[in-house]
Amino acid sequence: MEDTMIRTIYTGLLSGLAMLCLTACPPHKPGPGPGAKCVGFEPAVTPLTQYGAPASNSPGDQIFIENGIIVRVQEFQHSAGIAFSYAEVVASTASFGTGMQAMWTNNIGLEFDFSGVGFTPKKVTFDFVDHGGSENLSINGAPVFAGELSAAPSPMAGVTVSVVGNSAALTGDVDKFLVGGQEFILDQVCATP
């Protein structure tokens, strides 16, 4: 009930802000460095599109590719077991998001596969907002960490995990990683050579 109320309020507020963003929002910020490839959930991803169970996706299904980065839906692990709910493209706000859109996850994981970017990322960064519940993180196929993102083990699969505020950095060779949450918004997933 609480999740539905938060999502309804958030979506309602964002729908109005999205109209303002057509002329008033700052431009999409560039990636974190030269040669970076990013997923910003922007133009090619239609606003309010849902992925996961409501879209008849199965765990492991590819949902889109942005800048050579393959994005798949995956199961979500939490204290009560395994879930596979939904992810939804939502409008960014003045306080979060680098473009016009971000991705809301609700008891689902998103896997980012960098095999199509033409290099092995040495650093991956992403921005997030945690509205409650736990998160999942897995790097390069390591067992899924389930808990608060700020408490994720470091290193994981030989990659250093750093969380500062609403930003995370994975430093080391990253072929793919999975992240998701119960009431979790994600934006600007960037891979740097």
> Could you state, in chain order, the average pLDDT of each consecutive group of 10 residues for the chain (193 residues)?
47 41 38 83 82 97 96 95 96 82 96 97 97 96 97 97 96 98 96 97
- Spell out the residues 6+ positions from residue 184 whose beta carbon is closer than 8 angstroms to its own: 104, 105, 106, 128, 129, 130, 131, 133, 135
Q: What is the pLDDT of residue 5?
A: 44
Q: What is the pLDDT of residue 115?
A: 97
Q: What is the pLDDT of residue 81?
A: 94
Q: What is the pLDDT of residue 32?
A: 65
Task: State the pTM of this model.
Answer: 0.83
Q: What is the pLDDT of residue 42?
A: 85
Computed on alpha carbons and rounded to an integer, the radius of gyration of the chain in Å comes to 16
Q: What is the helix (H) or strand (E) element at residue 163, kind and residue range?
A: strand 160-164
Q: What is the pLDDT of residue 99?
A: 81
